[in-house]
Amino acid sequence: MTCPLPESWQQWLGNEFDAPYMHELRNFLAAEKAARKVIYPHSSDWFRAFELTPIDQVKVVILGQDPYHGPHQAHGLCFSVRPGVRVPPSLVNIYKELAQDVGFQPVDHGNLEHWARQGVLLLNTSLTVEQGKPASHRGKGWEVFTDRAIAAVNEHAAPSVFLLWGSHARSKKALVDTSRHLVLESPHPSPLSAHRGFFGNHQFSRANAFLVEQGRTPMDWQLPSEP
């Protein structure tokens, strides 16, 4: 299988596309499409997180679970939606915490490409989903690939911050060398759990403090008013 990743990632992940699990995943996705099932995001966006954030520029890793499963939402970056799409509830809560933590001024869009271009790897652990069926592509092989991506960041990126929100993301802590990288954990920002410790976690300012300690440029968390 031809590696669809940009050059900066190919050295560390290119061989994954010849692995048996990836061939099985490709066959599964082809069968889903042949059955006329709608899959999000579009295949051109499956690896968008890697395209926008080269491994040598990673500063922060935010892990999601599945892409959004509604029309026009998912575009390959966790928690982010296309311009013109209503801001999802979890992202609304992320904006609320940013406002309290770093003085973020809320915007009326949910496009996070500004973060990705600064070095935030916005990675879902499964890179596809069937329309209207959350977790429908879980266990099909994507998690093997994205675990390898996390491991590549852990081993080859400069000291970075991993923001692990919710039990699924927190289960990936074992892949990270906490003597080199900063891991910050909290409940998920969804309306069901944000009040259990996501609000008030101050992780965005703590991430920037760590980056400065490492001699790295801190994140500009403020999003432009127009995506």
Active-site residue, from 18, 66, 101, 108 = 66
Residues 162, 184 contacting (CB under 8 angstroms): yes
The DSSP string of 58-113 is: --EEEEESS---STTT-SSSTT---TTSPPPHHHHHHHHHHHHHH-PPP-S----H
Query: For tokens 């390898």, what's the residue?
Result: 148
56 is catalytic: no
Cα(67)–Cα(69) distance, rounded to whole angstroms?
6
| Interstrand relation of 120-124 and 60-64 (parallel, antiparallel or unpaired) | parallel
Catalytic residues: 66
